[in-house]
């Protein structure tokens, strides 16, 4: 028999398939998603170090670890990093990895645009963190950068300009991503996947995309005007020359409040995926949960001035924004009650993703309820800009968003990498984070009511101020240990290759991403099943069981 | 979940043991608007507290009751897809609760935002500066960081800013209001007790945001009159130095964030001193850009007499 020899390989190996190069040149939504998540976690650690620095500075009265100058840099960078470089992009990462898999598509609608958004995001992060080396250090005016403090006269140096530049880049990244999500979800769903059969996480990513498209231009406009004021001699926000600071506040918060829901809704979507799987039940009230997502997204555009109750808008506007802010509590409550009802008469399995999902409900409820106090504007006049607010938004954005995305990481980790993370370490991670979180942020409600304003670099009061601040700082230390455990569990699973190989569907889940292999092949699916309900995989399992 | 409650319980006990309210409510009010704010706070605390207990106890109960108990993962829970009546219940009841909270807020609101009528309020202007508070009294007197006010009289504050946004906040005398350049705001109080009430700037205003403290010193009507007619004038130089200059240069002018002043001959030259205080220089902000000539004289007199230690060559 003749042996045929080939002069060239069937599958040519180009430089693009190199170990590093295949990540640099990829337009695969899964790789881009993983790069998003990895970069966000890296910035999460950086932002966390800043948080621990601040907590150490505030542990005792008259502490001198950080100077007043560097404290203002650190608080500005912590806020900006956690919002723009951690929570928003990590959700884009989950969305990238999951949306095409969940809707049974081969990739996002615009793969190249998708890669561009990731690289722009990374560039924005580098510009922001590079500003530590700018003349005069980083921006120091807080993540809102209210003028006139952020104007050239009061913030000389280039830190504030780099901040503006990085916000511009990150805004472009998010806008490109948002368009991609909306187009993908609207157009590329598998056969049979009607709107009411769409996974709830996909609903929330659709809301995420639409909200970004509506809210981000206001931010871009605001920081553009600020840049012109600083560099081109305009005076949009300089009152002595006819500008208006209140205008900046409106523009900023018109973006800033939807931003909160941009950071929370996709996480709520993850909870709506995790809870049913680990309760062995369908989600309670699918339609109510889906429509409440749409409701929250809509009303989130109408509540921005509740961040401005102490600006002196007048009772008329204050009343409108109080009512609209309270309205948004209703769809949020609907979600929480539906989640709890999902656990009712279930077969609850407390694997790590489930612990984080339950932790999310417990903590987000707290953050939601403290929000009612802030919506009632006369009470807000008392607690606004105090540590009460710091506690409130950390219950929403850490107890909520971060607990949610850690749950999501544990849940989808086997799908992303093909190995399970260690369950025992996962439980340690959850409990340390849960205890540390409450120790850190619960006492901050009390500090605010005692009269401690946010963003002060030191205080001289002893007594309760000192006690609560000390408890809070110790709590932040516990969270550092927790994150250490998380990093260790990744090392053990992958560095040491001790992670158990995950099959296609280790959790016996409901949605299409579990239909393919872990990790999925580049084309995602060999065949895409016809979707007959909101739980296509469960349908498949039952059909297989009937045939057997 | 149990741990949330343990944490909350431990902190609650610790807090209550240390002080009467321990930071669980806003501080005891000493002005009618603060009192009515607290009333609204308690109503909201009642409702939200009840909802908190309901949600968390349901969660804990279900977590305990429907736990796996060693059943395999393949065992399904009850395949319940929803219940329209329940959805209606947990939509309508929160709406009703929020309406009640809203009504309570609107009921309390006039007593919070409007000063009591039929009185002749004392109008004082509060001007925020990097990094001190300046108070202008009806008779033209001026004070720094310490606001003097008579007991049991309505004091109407006009709140302004000369540079960046600040926020006026004396917790025992009501809520806060931003001091915004180019924008005039109002807030009022009617202190019900002689005493000193403290607070500090609540809006990040730059380097010394944390040092921007204010005291409201409430005395009898006679004490107030005597202050604004005498002390405010004789003591103005000291108040200015300690309020505006000492933040950076130290209480004795010994230096700190800013340079040592005690041997700087500029202190003996009123014209040059006025120029630098009015316009600022390098890192130094224009702290005295709204100061009157009388204020500059008072400052010059004070620093020459108390801060200047002679041009030192020996150090």
- Residue contact A245–B48, C-beta within 8 A: no
Cβ-count burial A246-258 (b if 16+ within 10 Å, e if not) = bebbbbbbbbbbb
Same domain, yes or no: B207 and B104: no
Q: Is residue B303 part of a domain?
A: yes
Query: Could you tell me if B310 lies within 8 Å of chain A, comparing CB atoms?
Result: no
Q: Look up tokens 């001193």; give the residue.
A: B273
Contact A468, A444 (CB under 8 A): yes
How close A15 comes to chain B (CA, Å)? Answer: 45
Give the DSSP letter string of A426-478: HHHHHHHHHHHHHHHHHHHHHHHHTT-BTT-S-----HHHHHHHHHHHHHHHH
B 81-120: CB under 8 A from A: 81-83, 86-87, 90-91, 94-95, 98, 101-102, 105-106, 108-109, 112-113
ipTM of this complex prediction, to 2 decimal places: 0.92
- Choose among A330, A358, A435: nearest Cβ to B95: A330
Tell me, yes or no, whether B140 and B184 share the same domain. Answer: yes
User: What is the average pLDDT value for chain A, to the nearest integer?
Assistant: 95
Q: Output A211 or B257, whichever has higher pLDDT.
A: A211
Name the A residues in 371-390 with CB < 8 Å from any B CB: 372-373, 376-386
Does A38 reach chain B within 8 Å, measured CB to CB?
no
Distance CA A104, CA A529 (A): 8
CB contact under 8 A, A369 and B1: no
- Sheet with B185-189, edge to edge strand ranges: B142-144, B132-136, B122-129, B155-161, B185-189
Chain B CA closest to residue A506 = B73
Q: How high is the pLDDT of residue B314? A: 44
Task: Please judge whether B204 and A459 are an interchain contact, meaning their C-beta atoms are less than 8 angstroms apart.
Answer: no
> How far is Cα B308 from Cα B315, in angstroms, rounded to an integer?
13
Q: How many domains does chain B have?
A: 3
Length of chain A: 548
Q: How confident is the model at residue B298 (pLDDT cuts 50, 70, 90)?
A: confident
Q: Does B128 touch chain A (CB under 8 A)?
A: no
Nearest by Cα to B37 from B119, B107, B99, B117: B107
Choosing from B234, B260, B291, the residue where a domain stops is B234
B214/A contact by beta carbon, under 8 A: no
CA A215 from chain center: how many Å? 16
**What residues in A contact B109, CB-CB < 8 Å?**
315, 378
How many residues comprise chain B? 315
At A2 the pLDDT is 58
CATH of the domain at B286: 1.10.760.10
Measured in angstroms, the CA of A456 and the nearest CA of chain B are apart by: 5
Buried b (16+ CB within 10 A) or exposed e, A295-325: bbbebbbbbbbbbbbbbbbebeebbebbbbb
Q: For residue A533, list chain B residues with Cβ-Cβ distance below 8 A.
A: none
Rounded distance between C-alpha atoms, residue A136 and residue A139, angstroms:
9
Q: What is the pLDDT of residues A155-207, one digit of tens each?
A: 999 999 999 999 999 999 999 999 999 999 999 999 999 999 999 999 999 99
B159 plus B173 within the same structural domain: yes
**The CATH homologous superfamily of the domain defined by A23-547:** Cytochrome c oxidase-like, subunit I domain (1.20.210.10)
**Are B37 and A337 inside 8 Å of each other by CB?**
no
B73 domain residue, yes or no:
no
Question: What are the residues whose beta carbons fall under 8 Å from the beta carbon of A73, sequence distance 6 or more?
Answer: A132, A137, A138, A139, A140, A159
Is residue B92 assigned to a domain? yes
Q: Which residues contact A521 (CB under 8 A, 6 or more apart)?
A: none
Neighbours of B82 (CB within 10 A): 17
Instruction: Give the nearest partner residue to B206 out of A154, A340, A346, using CB atoms.
Output: A154
- Which 8-state DSSP code applies to residue A151? S
Structure tokens at A422: 């260690």
Residue ranges of alpha helices (H) inside B114-258 are: 221-226, 232-234, 236-240, 246-249
Q: Comparing C-alpha atoms, which of A243, A375, A225 is closest to residue A302?
A: A375
Contact A478, A505 (CB under 8 A): no
pLDDT higher than 90, residue B252: no
Min mean pLDDT across A25-34, A365-374, A413-422, B272-281 is at B272-281
Positive or negative torsion for Cα A146, A377, A242, B278: negative
Chain A touched by B176 (CB under 8 Å): yes
Which of B234, B263, B293 delimits the end of a domain?
A: B234
Question: Does B182 touch chain A if contact means CB atoms closer than 8 Å?
Answer: yes
| Closest-CA distance of chain A to residue B83, Å | 7
Q: How far apart are CA A248 and CA B167, in angstroms?
A: 17
Q: Which residue of B has its CA nearest to A136?
A: B283
Q: Which residue has the tokens 């948002």?
A: A178
CB B151 within 8 A of CB B193: yes
List, for residues A373-411, the tens digit of each pLDDT value. 999 999 999 999 999 999 999 999 999 999 999 999 999
A171 vs chain B: nearest CA distance in angstroms? 25
Per cent of chain A over pLDDT 70 is 98
Which of B9, B158, B180 is the mutation pick for testing A, counting most A CBs within 10 A? Answer: B180
Residue B312 located in a structural domain: no
What is the pLDDT averaged over residues B270-296? 85
Shared domain for B147 and B106, answered yes or no, is no
d(CA A520, CA B233) in angstroms, rounded, equals: 80
Upper half-sphere CA count for residue B292 (Cβ side, 13 Å):
13
Q: Is residue B216 part of a domain?
A: yes
Residues of A in contact with B165 (CB under 8 A): 146, 148-149, 245
Structure tokens at B209: 């945001």
CA distance B209 to A107: 50
B51 close contact with A: CB closer than 8 A? yes
CA atoms within 13 A on the CB side of A41: 15
Residue of chain A whose alpha carbon sits nearest to that of B40: A379
Nearest to A376 among B1, B25, B101 (CB): B101
pLDDT at B312: 57
* A 246-275 residues with CB < 8 A to B: 246
Residue whose C-alpha is closest to residue A97's, from A87, A107, A83, A84 = A107
pLDDT for A117-141, tens place per residue?
A: 999 999 999 999 999 999 989 999 9
In the 8-state DSSP scheme, what is residue A196? G
| A454 contacts chain B (CB < 8 A) | yes
Reported confidence tier of residue B288, pLDDT bands at 50, 70, 90: confident
Q: Is residue B151 part of a domain?
A: yes
Q: Which regions of chain B does DSSP assign to beta strands (E)?
A: 122-129, 132-136, 142-144, 146-150, 155-161, 166-169, 176-179, 185-189, 195-200, 213-219
From chain B, the residues in CB contact with A329 under 8 A are 94, 98
The model's confidence at residue B315, banded by pLDDT at 50, 70 and 90, is very low
- Chain B nearest-CA distance from A280, in A, is 5
pLDDT tens digits for range A488-531: 999 999 888 888 899 999 999 999 999 999 999 999 999 999 99
The pLDDT score that the predictor gives to residue B3 is 59
Residue B78 lies in a domain: no
A114 or A548: which carries more pLDDT confidence?
A114
Q: What is the mean pLDDT of residues B126-153?
A: 92
Residues 6+ apart with CB under 8 A from A239: A148, A245, B180, B181, B182, B183
Kindly report the nearest CA distance between residue A380 and chain B, in angstroms: 8
A86-97 mean pLDDT = 97
Each domain of chain A, given as residue ranges in start order, spans 23-547
Last residue of a domain, one of B188, B217, B234: B234
* Residue range A29-52, pLDDT digits in tens: 999 999 999 999 999 999 999 999
As a whole number of angstroms, the distance between CA B235 and CA B143 comes to 9
Which band of pLDDT confidence, cut at 50, 70 and 90, is reported for residue B17?
Answer: very low
Q: Which domain holds residue B60?
A: 2-66+83-113
**CA A318/CA A310 separation, integer angstroms:** 9
B188 phi and psi, to 5 degrees?
Answer: -140, 165
Question: Tokens 């705001």 appear where?
Answer: B185
The whole model's pTM is what? 0.93
Better-scored residue on pLDDT, B315 or A48: A48
Residue B73 at interface with chain A, using a CB cutoff of 8 Å:
yes
Region A73-80: mean pLDDT is 97
Span B228-255, mean pLDDT? 84
pLDDT tens digits for range A307-362:
999 999 999 999 999 999 999 999 999 999 999 999 999 999 999 999 999 999 99
Q: Choosing among B98, B103, B126, B133, which should be mutated to test the A contact, i.e. which has the most A CBs within 10 A?
A: B98
Angle subtended at Cα A189 by Cα A266 and Cα A95, rounded to the nearest 5 degrees = 25
């Amino acid at each position: 028999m003749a042996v045929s020899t080939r002069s060239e390989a069937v599958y040519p190996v180009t430089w693009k398939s190199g170990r590093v190069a295949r990540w640099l040149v990829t337009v695969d939504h899964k790789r881009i998603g993983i790069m998003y998540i990895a970069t966000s976690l890296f910035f999460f650690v950086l932002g966390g170090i800043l948080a621990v620095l601040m907590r150490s500075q505030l542990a005792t009265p008259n502490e001198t670890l950080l100077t007043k100058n560097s404290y203002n840099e650190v608080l500005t960078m912590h806020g900006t990093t956690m919002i723009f470089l951690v929570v928003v992009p990590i959700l884009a990462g989950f969305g990238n990895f999951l949306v095409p898999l969940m809707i049974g598509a081969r990739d996002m609608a615009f793969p190249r645009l998708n890669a561009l958004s990731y690289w722009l995001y990374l560039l924005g992060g580098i510009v922001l963190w590079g500003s530590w080396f700018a003349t005069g250090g980083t921006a120091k005016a807080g993540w809102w950068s209210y003028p006139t403090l952020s104007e050239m006269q009061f913030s000389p140096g280039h830190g504030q300009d780099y901040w503006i530049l990085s916000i511009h880049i990150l805004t472009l990244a998010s806008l490109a991503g948002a368009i991609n999500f909306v187009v993908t979800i609207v157009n590329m769903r598998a056969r049979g996947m009607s709107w009411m059969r769409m996974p709830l996480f996909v609903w929330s990513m659709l809301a995420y995309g639409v909200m970004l498209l509506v809210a981000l231009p206001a931010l871009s406009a605001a920081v553009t005007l600020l840049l012109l004021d600083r560099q081109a001699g305009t005076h949009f926000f300089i009152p002595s020359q006819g500008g208006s600071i209140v205008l900046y506040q409106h523009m900023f918060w018109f973006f800033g409040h939807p931003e909160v829901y941009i950071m929370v809704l996709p996480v709520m979507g993850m909870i709506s995926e995790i809870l049913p799987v680990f309760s062995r039940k369908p989600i309670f009230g699918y339609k109510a949960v889906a429509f409440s997502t749409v409701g929250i997204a809509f009303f989130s555009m109408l509540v921005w001035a509740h961040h401005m109750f102490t600006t002196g808008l007048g009772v008329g506007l204050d009343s409108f924004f109080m009512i609209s802010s309270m309205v948004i509590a209703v769809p949020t409550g609907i979600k929480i009650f539906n989640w709890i009802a999902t656990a009712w008469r279930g077969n609850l399995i407390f694997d790590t993703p489930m612990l984080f999902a339950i932790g999310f409900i417990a903590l987000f409820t707290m953050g939601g309820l403290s929000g009612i106090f802030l919506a009632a504007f006369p009470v807000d006049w008392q607690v606004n800009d105090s540590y009460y607010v710091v506690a409130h938004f950390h219950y929403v954005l850490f107890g909520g968003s971060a607990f949610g995305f850690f749950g999501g990481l544990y849940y989808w980790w086997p799908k992303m990498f093909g190995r399970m993370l260690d369950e025992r370490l996962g439980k340690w991670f959850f409990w340390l984070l849960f205890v540390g979180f409450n120790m850190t942020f619960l006492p901050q409600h009390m500090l605010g009511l005692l009269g401690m304003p946010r963003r002060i670099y030191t205080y001289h009061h002893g007594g309760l101020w000192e006690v609560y601040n000390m408890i809070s700082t110790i709590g932040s230390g516990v969270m550092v240990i927790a994150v250490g455990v998380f990093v260790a569990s990744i090392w053990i699973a992958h560095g040491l290759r001790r992670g158990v190989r995950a099959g296609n569907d280790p959790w016996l889940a409901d949605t299409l991403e579990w239909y393919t292999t872990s990790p999925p092949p580049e084309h995602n699916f060999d065949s895409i099943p016809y979707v007959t309900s909101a739980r296509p995989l469960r349908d498949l399992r039952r059909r297989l069981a009937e045939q057997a | 979940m149990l741990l949330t409650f343990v944490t909350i319980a431990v902190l609650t006990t610790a807090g209550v043991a240390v002080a009467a309210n321990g930071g669980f409510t806003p501080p005891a009010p000493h002005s009618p608007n603060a009192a009515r704010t607290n009333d609204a706070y308690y109503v909201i605390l009642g409702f939200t507290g009840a909802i908190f207990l309901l949600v968390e106890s349901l969660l804990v109960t279900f977590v305990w009751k429907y736990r796996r108990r060693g059943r395999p993962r393949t065992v399904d829970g009850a395949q319940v897809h929803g219940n329209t009546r329940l959805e209606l219940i947990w939509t309508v009841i929160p709406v009703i609760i929020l309406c009640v909270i809203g009504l309570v807020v609107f009921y309390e609101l006039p007593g919070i935002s409007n000063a009591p009528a039929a009185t002749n309020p004392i109008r004082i202007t509060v001007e925020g500066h990097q990094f001190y508070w300046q108070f202008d009294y009806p008779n033209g007197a001026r004070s720094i960081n310490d606001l003097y006010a008579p007991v049991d009289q309505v004091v109407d504050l006009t709140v302004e800013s000369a540079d960046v946004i600040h926020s006026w906040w004396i917790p025992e005398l009501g809520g806060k209001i931003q001091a915004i350049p180019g924008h005039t705001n109002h807030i009022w109080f009617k202190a019900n007790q002689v005493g000193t009430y403290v607070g500090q700037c609540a809006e990040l205003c730059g380097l010394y945001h944390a040092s921007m403290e204010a005291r409201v010193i409430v005395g009898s009507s006679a004490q107030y009159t005597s202050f604004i007619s005498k002390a405010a004038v004789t003591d103005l130089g000291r108040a200015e130095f300690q309020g505006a200059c000492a933040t950076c240069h130290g209480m004795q002018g010994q230096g700190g964030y800013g340079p040592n002043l005690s041997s700087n001959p500029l202190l003996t030259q009123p014209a040059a001193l006025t120029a630098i205080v009015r316009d600022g220089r390098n890192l130094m902000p224009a702290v005295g850009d709204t100061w009157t000539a009388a204020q500059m004289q008072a400052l010059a007199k004070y620093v020459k007499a108390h801060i200047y230690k002679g041009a030192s060559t020996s150090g």
